[in-house]
Amino acid sequence: MKPVPGAERLTRKQVTDLLATQPPVHEEYEARLARTDAPDRDGRIHSLPDGHILHVLAGDYPGDRLKGTGTLYPEDAFERRVRWHERGDLDRREQRGATNSVGDWRFFSTVKHALPEHVGRLHDELERAVGTTLDTSYASLDPISDHVSRIGLDAARRLYDALVAHVGEVLRARVQGEWAVDDRSRPYPFVLGQDRRVLMPINVVWTELLVYELRPVDFGWEARSEARQAARRPRFT
Domain boundaries, the chain: 8-87, 97-230
Label residue 2 by pLDDT band (50, 70, 90). low
Length of the chain: 237
pLDDT tens for 172-229 read 999 999 999 988 778 999 999 999 999 999 999 999 998 887 788 999 999 999 999 9
Tell me the mean pLDDT in the region 29-53.
Answer: 87
- What pTM was computed for the model? 0.72
Alpha helix ranges (H) inside 117-210: 119-130, 141-151, 153-158, 160-175, 201-210
* pLDDT computed for residue 183 by the predictor: 80
> 189 near 168, Cβ under 8 Å?
yes
Sequential DSSP letters for 163-183: HHHHHHHHHHHHHT-EEEEE-
- Is 106 strand, coil or helix? helix
* pLDDT computed for residue 63 by the predictor: 56
* pLDDT above 80: residue 143: yes
Instruction: Give CA–CA dist 150/129, Å, rounded.
Output: 12
pLDDT tens for 64-80 read 667 888 899 989 888 88
